[in-house]
C-alpha cells in the first residue's frame, strides 16, 4: 500500500481495445461521505507497466466509458526526457464508484485541456519573455530591490497560480513568498507587473497582491534553525530557478540554493514548489545536503496584521498553523495556513517584531535530516475570492477536509 495525495480506491482490470492497443480499466471510488471535486488520479510509469506493455511511441491518457477525455497530463519528473507519471483530476460523488480508462495516443494527438495552472518568470529586460531557467540576483537588500530585482524580473521573481489563487517568490536574497488573491479563474500572471499595466497592489479585474511581507517569511518561505538561531535560506550564496514541468492540471518548479552559509556550515538546499488545479495551496518539498547534522526546517507565516495563531490537529498525520484576520492589503479577511506532518513537528513559535533577520513571523519547526525530503502545504483563503473565507469556522472545516484528502491511501486490488 502506497500513500498518495488523493482519496481514491482503485480496482484495476485489463481490457482490450480492439485493433489499436490495450487499455486499462480502473474502478475509482470515493470512500468519503462527501463529494470530491478535482479528486487526484496519479499513476506512475512503473505501476502502469506492471499491467500492460507500454508502447514506446505513445502516451497514456484518461477517458471515461463514453470515450470522453478526462483532464490529464503526463509529466517527466526526473528530467530524462521520458514521461514518469500520468496525472488527472476528476469529480467523485460520495461513495460512488466510476470507471476510468487508461488509453494510449500519439504525442501529436494528445488532447489539450483548459489551463488551470501556470508558472511564469518574465525577463523584464527582454520584453518579459518566459524564462524556464534563471539565476537569482545577488547583492540585493531590502533597500535596493526595486532598482535591481524589479528591473530584472517581472513581479520581482517567479509566480505560480491556479484557478483559485496565485503566489510569487522574490528572486533575490530576501527570498520571501507573497500571495496574489484572485477573483478570476483565468491564468493571468503573465500579464501582471509589466510596464503600462495597472499596479498589482491595487484591486483589478483579476484580483490583487493581498499580502505585505516585509522582512517576514511571508507565505511559507523557508528558514532553518541551528544552535537556537533562525537563518533565512538563501540570504547568502547563490541560487537558481528551474521549471520541472508545467501542465494544465499541475505544475512544478524548483529553487536551488548553493553554498549557503549557515553559521559554520555550507549547505545546498533544494525547494520544490508544486501547484495543483482547484485547490487553495501550493506544496513545498525541501531537502538539504552538506552536513550530517540534524536541522530544523522552518516554514513561516507573516503575522504583521494578525493577533492570534490557531494550532489545529487536523487528523492523526497533519497539524495546521492558521491565522485568520483582516490582514489582506484591502482590509478584508485573509486566512493563511501551514499544514505540516505532525510526526516531524518539534515546536511552533513566533519571531520578534523588529530587528535584524526574520521578523513578524509565526513558524513551525520541523525535524529534518540530510537527504530527507519534507513536504508542507501553504494555504491562502481570501474573502475577495469567496466570501465564506470570512468565517473562521468555514476555514477550519475546509482544512480538515483537505487533510483527509491528503492522508487517504490508494488501495490496489487484483487485476486480470
Residue 79: give its domain's CATH number.
Answer: 2.60.40.1180
Cell 505513445 sits on residue: 58
How confident is the model over 212-222, as pLDDT tens digits?
A: 999 999 999 99
pLDDT at 8: 46
Closest CA to 270 of 286, 283, 253: 286
Total domains in the fold of the chain: 2
pTM of the model: 0.94
Residues 357-380 have a mean pLDDT of: 97
Give the dihedral sign, CA 293/350/374/311: positive
Do 231 and 342 have their domain in common?
yes
Q: Give me the pLDDT at residue 146, please.
A: 80
- Same domain assignment for residues 220 and 307: yes
Do 165 and 78 share a structural domain? no
**In this structure, are 131 and 207 located in the same domain?**
yes
Long-range Cβ contact pairs of 83-87 (< 8 A, separation 24 or more) = 83/45, 83/59, 84/44, 84/45, 85/42, 85/43, 85/44, 85/45, 86/41, 86/42, 86/43, 86/44, 86/45, 86/48, 86/60, 86/61, 86/62, 87/40, 87/41, 87/42, 87/247, 87/249, 87/250
Residue 396 lies in a domain: no
104 and 222 housed in the same domain? no
Shared-domain flag, residues 48 and 156: no
* Torsion sign (Cα): 50, 56, 61, 67: negative
The residue that leads in pLDDT, 411 or 398, is: 398
Q: The domain spanning residue 274 has which CATH number?
A: 2.70.98
pLDDT at 12: 46
- Greater confidence (93 vs 238) lies with 238
Instruction: Give me the pLDDT at residue 33, please.
Output: 79
Are residues 171 and 296 located together in one domain of the fold?
A: yes
Distances in whole angstroms, Cα of residue 34 to Cα of each of 11, 295, 346: 20, 39, 33
Does residue 54 surpass a pLDDT of 90?
yes
> What's the pLDDT score for residue 75?
98
Res 16: pLDDT: 41
Asked if 189 and 118 touch (Cβ cutoff 8 Å), the reply is yes
- Using the predicted structure, report yes or no on whether residue 409 has a pLDDT greater than 90: no
Tens of pLDDT, residues 3-48? 333 444 454 444 443 334 578 888 887 877 788 899 999 999 999 9
User: What are the backbone angles phi and psi of residue 385, rounded to the nearest 5°?
Assistant: -80, -40
CA distance 61 to 65: 13
Within a domain: 320:
yes
When pLDDT is cut at 50, 70 and 90, the band that residue 189 belongs to is very high
Q: Which residue has the higher pLDDT, 224 or 141?
A: 224
Give a yes or no: residue 407 inside a domain. Answer: no
Range of the domain at 80: 2-113
Q: Which three cell numbers stand for residue 111?
A: 488532447
Is pLDDT above 70 for 205? yes
Residue 318 maps to a domain: yes
Please report the pLDDT score of residue 31 as a whole number: 77
- Do 178 and 268 belong together in one domain? yes
Query: Is 60 exceeded by the pLDDT of residue 2?
Result: no
Give the up-direction half-sphere exposure of residue 208: CA atoms within 13 A in the CB hemisphere.
18
Q: What residues does 209 pair with on adjacent strands?
A: 180
Q: Are residues 107 and 8 in the same domain?
A: yes
For residue 413, tell me if it sits in a domain. Answer: no
* The pLDDT value given to residue 88: 95
Query: Mean pLDDT, to the nearest integer, of 385-407?
Result: 96
The answer to whether residue 391 is domain-embedded is no
State whether 276 and 377 are in the same domain. yes
Residues 83 and 196 in one domain: no
Boundary residue ending a domain (88, 113, 138): 113
pLDDT (average), residues 98-106: 93
What pLDDT is attached to residue 21? 54
Query: Mind giving me the DSSP string for 284-334?
Result: EEEEEES-SS-EEEEEEEE-TT----EEEE-SSSEEEEEEEES-STTSS-E
pLDDT tens for 277-324 read 999 999 999 999 999 999 999 999 999 999 999 999 999 999 999 999
Torsion of CA 359, 362, 364, 365, to 10 degrees: 30
| Confidence grade of residue 101 (pLDDT, cut at 50, 70, 90) | very high
* Secondary-structure breakdown of the chain: helix, strand, coil percentages, each rounded to the nearest 5: 10, 45, 40
The reply to whether 38 and 141 lie within a common domain is no
The domain boundary, picked from 79, 96, 113, lies at 113
Any domain includes 181: yes
Give tens-digit pLDDT for 109-165. 999 999 999 999 999 999 999 999 999 999 888 878 888 999 999 999 999 999 999
Inform me whether the pLDDT recorded for 92 exceeds 90: no
The verdict on residue 294 lying in a domain is yes
Mean pLDDT rounded to a whole number for the chain: 91
Amino acid at each position: 500500500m502506497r500513500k498518495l495525495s488523493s482519496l481514491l480506491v482503485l480496482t484495476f482490470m485489463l481490457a482490450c481495445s480492439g485493433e489499436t492497443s490495450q487499455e486499462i480499466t480502473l474502478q475509482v471510488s470515493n470512500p468519503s461521505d462527501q463529494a470530491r471535486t478535482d479528486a487526484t488520479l496519479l499513476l506512475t510509469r512503473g505501476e502502469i507497466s506492471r499491467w500492460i506493455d507500454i508502447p514506446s511511441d505513445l502516451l497514456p491518457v484518461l477517458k471515461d466509458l463514453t470515450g470522453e477525455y478526462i483532464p490529464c497530463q503526463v509529466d517527466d519528473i526526473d528530467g530524462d526526457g521520458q514521461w514518469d507519471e500520468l496525472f488527472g483530476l476528476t469529480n467523485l460523488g460520495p461513495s460512488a464508484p466510476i470507471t476510468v480508462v487508461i488509453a494510449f495516443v500519439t504525442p501529436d494527438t494528445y488532447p489539450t485541456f483548459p489551463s488551470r495552472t501556470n508558472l511564469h518568470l518574465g525577463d523584464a529586460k527582454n520584453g518579459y519573455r518566459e524564462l524556464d531557467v534563471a539565476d537569482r540576483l545577488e547583492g540585493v537588500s531590502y533597500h535596493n530591490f526595486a532598482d535591481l530585482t524589479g528591473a530584472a524580473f517581472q513581479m520581482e521573481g517567479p509566480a505560480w497560480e491556479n484557478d483559485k489563487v496565485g503566489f510569487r517568490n522574490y528572486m533575490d536574497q530576501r527570498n520571501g513568498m507573497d500571495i496574489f488573491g484572485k477573483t478570476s479563474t483565468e491564468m493571468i500572471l503573465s500579464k501582471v507587473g509589466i510596464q503600462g499595466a495597472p499596479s498589482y497592489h491595487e484591486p483589478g479585474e483579476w484580483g490583487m497582491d493581498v499580502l505585505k511581507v516585509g522582512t517576514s517569511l511571508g507565505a511559507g518561505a523557508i528558514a532553518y534553525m541551528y544552535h537556537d538561531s533562525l537563518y533565512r535560506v538563501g540570504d547568502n550564496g547563490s541560487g537558481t530557478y528551474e521549471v520541472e514541468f508545467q501542465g494544465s492540471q499541475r505544475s512544478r518548479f524548483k529553487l536551488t540554493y548553493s553554498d549557503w552559509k549557515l553559521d559554520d556550515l555550507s549547505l545546498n538546499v533544494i525547494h520544490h514548489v508544486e501547484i495543483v488545479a482547484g485547490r487553495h495551496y501550493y506544496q513545498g518539498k525541501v531537502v538539504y545536503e552538506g552536513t550530517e547534522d540534524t536541522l530544523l526546517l522552518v516554514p513561516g507565516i507573516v503575522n504583521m496584521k494578525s493577533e492570534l495563531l490557531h494550532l489545529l490537529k487536523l487528523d492523526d498525520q497533519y497539524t495546521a498553523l492558521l491565522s485568520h484576520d483582516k490582514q489582506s492589503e484591502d482590509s478584508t479577511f485573509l486566512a493563511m495556513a501551514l499544514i505540516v506532518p505532525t510526526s516531524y513537528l518539534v515546536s511552533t513559535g513566533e519571531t520578534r517584531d523588529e530587528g535584524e533577520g526574520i521578523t513578524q513571523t509565526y513558524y513551525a519547526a520541523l525535524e529534518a535530516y540530510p537527504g530527507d525530503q519534507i513536504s508542507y502545504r501553504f494555504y491562502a483563503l481570501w474573502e475577495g475570492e469567496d466570501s465564506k473565507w470570512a468565517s473562521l469556522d468555514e476555514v477550519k472545516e475546509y482544512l480538515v477536509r483537505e487533510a483527509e484528502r491528503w492522508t487517504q491511501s490508494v488501495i490496489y486490488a487484483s487485476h486480470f
